[in-house]
Structure 1
Amino acid sequence: MFKKMAIVALSAGVLLSGINVSVGFDSAEAKKPEWAGNQHQKVKNVIYMIPDGYNAAYATNYRWYKGEDSSFDPYVKGLMKTHSANTEVTDSAAAGTAMATGVKTNNGMVGVTPDGEEVDSILDAAEDAKKSTGLVATSTITHATPAVFGASVASRGDEATIAPQYFENGVDVILGGGRSFFLPTSEGGKQPEGNLVEEAKKDGYQYVTNSSELSKVKGNKILGLFADGAMAPELERSNTNQPSLAEMTDAAINALKQDKDGFFLMVEGSQIDWAGHAHDAAWAMTDTQAFDEAVAAAIEFAKKDGNTLVVVAGDHETGGMSVGSNGVYDLKIELLHDVTATGDFMAKQLNSDRSNVKEVVKKYTGLDLTEEEINRIKESSKVVIAINEVISDRALVGWTSTAHTGTDLPIYAYGPQSDRFVGLHDNIDIPMIIAEAMKLKLNN
């Protein structure tokens, strides 16, 4: 009897002092959500990091590839739904719009509702609160994901219209590829409205074009355009003078933190998605590594600062990646460490009759191809994907699609109010949670 009474008393004590459990009374304390412990901590800065195309399968493969947890693995909080307004499988424009504005839209649309009405982003809300803002990406900086934070257009392909909107909306730090969209057509660029680079310099932006110049920047407004189109994949970055994603993240933080009112920064690992489209497992892992290092830099700053919230969430999954393939209960992802070029690069090294397939693949992967594998590449109408699938099959990484898939995605968060992201969310919830944490007005 005494044991039973003790158990009942202990159980009641646990219920009343711990997790929010309904026990038949209307106490405000009992209604607090799981993140109540840090919901009132100050959030001055937010670093919103988006690994494009990334889901739990990428996370698992990358953990095996790295040999340990990623910098953000310990901070996983919940899951996120990804569907767009008009389909179960989203593209980056619709997903990004939801993640930036809290509004669902149709695939292909940037910063507008399905009927074309412009909507404010979390970056706009930060600007309204007098905070500094920044965008960083390894794609063209006018690509869909960065665009949704600083622009509104009916079609994601209208990158020349997106570029000037960044300056109109007051974005302070702009780092990535896409130089051609800022230069006038008279100089071989794609910008019909004039030379945006020269206009930016007159407005106080420091303009940089390589990693060395970026490392010397001291001001709080930067325009860094490191390629005419997209930046190089991480596998090939050592052959360029382009900064890494971590270096761009560090530079952006150092510029934006000068604002006493705080800042909002979005950082995209753009090319994880492109690797998924191409079924290029090595490219996917190395660009994930670059993103991992960027997140590590952000978390390091957040730990020192104490008032910075870091949020990490992909926008959709790409390629239907699996951990293990072909019915084999194993993974041999370690062989990807020997791959030194993308499948696209290797395909460009093939001669007209593809008679050098064996030599090219051996040079850049260390693999000795079988006759069956050689013929598979030789005879394929999609040689890049054929090369990548041969390598993926060797690593036992599987693929189900060359497009996006509609799976839920993990959400990670570190810093004050990070527990707000616990649970299952829709992608439109994320900017609303950030706005509430930063005490910003986002009324879409």
Structure 2
Amino acid sequence: MRLIVTGWLLLAGFLPVMAQQRAKAPKEISDSALLTLVQQRTFDYFWKFAHPVSGLAPERTVTPDTVTIGGSGFGVMSILVGIERHFITREQGLDRLLKIVNFLVRANNYHGIWPHWMNGATGQTIPFSRKDDGGDLVESSFMFQGLLCVRQYFTGNSPKETELRNKIGWLWNEAEWNWYTQGGQNVLYWHWSPNNGWAMNHQIRGWNECLITYILAVASPNYGVSPKVYNQGWTESNHFLNGREYYGIKLPLGFEYGGPLFFTHYSFLGLDPRGLKDRYADYWELNRNHTLINRQYCIENPKKFKGYGADCWGLTASDSYDAYDAHSPTNDHGVITPTAALSSFPYTPEYSMQALKHFYYKLGDRLWGEYGFYDAFGESRNWFDNQYLAIDQGPIVVMIENYRSGLLWKLFMSCPEIQEALRKLEFTSPAISRQ
């Protein structure tokens, strides 16, 4: 989970700012126009602020040369949204994606898996922490989720589209997911480094943001893992099965009160939760109920933080007053993160729109800037962040689009390898074809 903060603090240059007197709130526009505006302004982070050499997304606005693999995976999905919403042309998007993929082909990788951070000009690894200087399986899974959507989108026979598909296929085929079982164990490991081996020793067990990692590992054409790795690794955890109720809302899986809301977003940018079930959960019910619990906690507001309420909610991992933190009902410091409510549009459209209007019209330019909403704010301390983070920006663009058109869900679920992996894992879904 995004609980490792050391690397963030080293590179963040973190300078929280107090709320300033800025322009008044904008005039009201239609809900549809507001959604498009938010998508376009947020998309600009991945388009206008992208690294000029690699085309990948900087980790955050104060680290323009440090690009992030996971956030860039969300970014390539955002480029597809940009094409569909006519923010850019298809040809512009294709050229940018070719630039990104050509860079990824040359960049540092560890058995086909990229590091968390790299230099945007050279592709050299930038350590996330002292021993985390190699492959990051989870961040790479976010990138592969995006690349597979790109492969399914560009189906034309032009030389550029053919080249893009072929290079994505080469990257996908050569990623050694089974290497990350540390010698054939029935569990995936998050990190491996040629300098430090398995020293991080971080097994990936649920429930958190990593469901997509296991599905891709099973789906891999050449280096796949057995379903036993899912059923004996991912699901064997003290924080997997839940089944309790919070505010009268049942939570099938996960931590007490659900944990941070990014659990409901990162794996489900491509993986369609509508009607998705396995022996453990109905994932639509899980994600919607997790979101409702998170919102209700903010309404109850047991710590009496200023600003919390029905129109101002959403606890997830983000910047905080002086650090990066995984905010949740059990780790609440009075910080609201716009991506939490906005990336939940598919699950709670009315409540997410309520929050969006509050953020845009009521908080105005204290929260709204060049690339959409700033990362986080805490009204109890009159604090509004002045930074953007790729990993929080991307889900806003993608999940609003999934709410509006289902674009990324349709693309990802159309992958034959994903269909086969879900069948192997005994998932059921209206999106899984029968054979």
TM-score with structure 1 setting the length = 0.31
Greater Rg over alpha carbons, structure = 1
Q: Which has the higher contact order (CA 8 A, sep 6+)?
A: 1
TM-score with structure 2 setting the length = 0.32
